[in-house]
Structure 1
Amino acid sequence: MSGFAAASPAPRPNGPGRDRAGSGAKVLNIGQVLERLRADFADITLSKIRYLEAEGLVEPARTSANYRKYSADDVARLRYVLHAQRERFLPLRVIKEELASLDREETPVHRPGPRAVPPHPAPTGLDAILGVERVRMSRRELLAAVGLDEEELADLERHGLVAPIAGGGYYDSDALLVARTVALLAGHGVQARHLRAARTVADREAGLIEAATAPLRGQRGSDNAGRQAETADELAALLVRLHAALLRSRLAAGRSS
């Protein structure tokens, strides 16, 4: 198989050769699986693992008490799914087809993700800081990528942290990054309602950038819009650096007091 398979081990097919939990091999509970995957997929959550099971991407065995028992092959399947989502932006339907091919001992045809944007120059400004790819995801795909349920995503939208692209019903890379970050914060007890201040600061800084770039709107030239966007991006990156430096300084002062 390709280098993709090397980065994301392909599960062995179903059938007599497959190492099912309970055959004597070491098995893992869902918490242990989470810890193993987290090293490569920082945003993985228990709810996402359960969601992938509900969608039929992995089928762990069960104990007599109905606890999940994950084999090495189950973990490999999860890695395959998560890698395909993150690197190729594939919907679960396509990933499931690829897994079915592997189960039949066939080599799946690796298709490029339908929403991946063609390669572009090295990122600058905010892209260089945030390190995000350009993506467009449906609501269902966003839920699966982050491991949220409908109620949790609705809570993010209610607090103004995440919103679909205007008029499109899709979510972009910023929505994905915000949702993933909020999910990680939730693991430390920080809930969406606690982050209203962050949204307010972002709105105020956006207003500051708009005011600073307003003079460019009146200038003539075919590339004026491009210069305005570039300047706005540069200012935004500077404000992010300023905010991070002030936050680090404040935390250091708190520790020394």
Structure 2
Amino acid sequence: MAASSAQARKPGTHGLLSIGQVLARFRPEFPDLTPSKLRFLEERQLISPARTESGYRKFSASDLDRLRFVLTMQREHYLPLKVIRGYLDELDAGRQPELPGAATGPIPTILSTERRFQRDELIREANASPQLLNDAVSASLIVPAELYGEPVLAVLKSLVELQRSGIEPRHLRGFRASAERELGLIESALIPVSRRKDASSRAKANELARDIAGQLEIVRSSLIRSALSRLD
């Protein structure tokens, strides 16, 4: 959806937020959000803020919901922008599409705000023991924090179920090593882009990294399904 069409459907800009106000609101949750990132998302037609007569961008409440959805899908599910945009285009067309390739956790709706949990709340929601969370942190499966998001809750719930089958967090230490190896592959692939230090190149490198991560996830899932088929 182009910016011109956004301007047509938003007749006024009174009460809307500027880029600076959007950054102030979002940076506690998304500290790497920058003006260049917002402009990049607009260029990719993922957000469509209105414009003042002077050309300044103005964001409505629905723009903020859409932006939060895009940023959450990138950060928590490592989805490339072209996948997210295709999903949003389907929503805009009045359909109810499935969002493919999400790495972990439930897919939020476009209007949802992700819940955050303190340690005790996380343990209670996951029906886990404090020791299990401690073991998950020791195995580098969960990064300790003051507040935890829903993807971490999904991981801890999975660890609860795995523990019932006799699989403990210590048995999964190799997962962190595997993730680090994949990160090395991604960093090597980004070298030609990351050498350029301008804001546009950084945004493109970030998007390419997420795209590669999504493709690696598809390969990993296929290998696991293939291995499981041999157990039949």
Tell me the TM-score normalized by structure 2: 0.51
Distance 1:162 1:218, change over 3 A: same
Cα contact 2:123–2:129 (8 A) shared by 1: yes
Distance 1:189 1:252, change over 3 A: same
Instruction: Give the whole-Å Cα distance in 1 for the aligned partners of 2:199 and 2:159.
Output: 40
Q: Say which SS state the counterpart of residue 223 (structure 1) adopts.
A: helix
Q: Tell me which amino acid in the other structure corresponds to 2:78.
A: L
- 1:184 equivalent in structure 2: 161
| Equivalent residue in structure 2 for 1:197, among 169, 174, 197 | 174
- 2:142 equivalent in structure 1: 162
Instruction: Give the whole-Å Cα distance in 2 for the aligned partners of 1:138 and 1:147.
Output: 14
Q: Tell me which amino acid in the other structure corresponds to 2:166.
A: G
Distance 1:121 1:156, change over 3 A: closer
Which 10-residue stretch deviates more, 124-133 or 150-159?
Answer: 124-133
Q: Tell me which amino acid in the other structure corresponds to 1:137.
A: F
Q: Say which SS state the counterpart of residue 230 (structure 2) adopts.
A: helix
Post-superposition CA distance 1:31-64 (Å, at most 9, x none):
xxxxxxxxxxxxxxxxxxxxxxxxxxxxxxxxxx
Post-superposition CA distance 1:165-219 (Å, at most 9, x none):
4xxx222344223212212222322211111122221121122112211222112
Q: Say which SS state the counterpart of residue 137 (structure 1) adopts.
A: coil
Q: How does 1:1-257 map to 2 (within 5 A)?
A: 118-119=65-66, 120-121=68-69, 123=73, 126-127=78-79, 128=99, 129=102, 130=104, 131-133=106-108, 134-165=114-145, 169-255=146-232
Cα contact 1:164–1:172 (8 A) shared by 2: no
Q: Which ranges of structure 1 fall in alignment gaps of 5 or more residues? A: 1-116
Q: Tell me which amino acid in the other structure corresponds to 1:148.
A: A
Larger Rg: 1
Cα contact 2:128–2:157 (8 A) shared by 1: no
Tell me the TM-score normalized by structure 1: 0.46
Q: Which ranges of structure 2 fall in alignment gaps of 5 or more residues? A: 1-63, 80-98, 109-113
Distance 1:209 1:174, change over 3 A: farther
- 1:6 equivalent in structure 2: none
Instruction: Give the whole-Å Cα distance in 1 for the aligned partners of 2:207 and 2:128.
Output: 34
Q: Tell me which amino acid in the other structure corresponds to 2:152.
A: A
Q: Say which SS state the counterpart of residue 145 (structure 1) adopts.
A: helix
Matched length: 136
Shift of 1:118: 4.2
Cα contact 2:162–2:168 (8 A) shared by 1: yes
Coordinate RMSD, CA, aligned? 2.5
Cα contact 1:135–1:173 (8 A) shared by 2: yes
Cα contact 1:161–1:199 (8 A) shared by 2: yes
Distance 1:173 1:216, change over 3 A: farther
Distance 1:118 1:135, change over 3 A: farther
Post-superposition CA distance 1:2-47 (Å, at most 9, x none):
xxxxxxxxxxxxxxxxxxxxxxxxxxxxxxxxxxxxxxxxxxxxxx
Cα contact 1:156–1:162 (8 A) shared by 2: yes
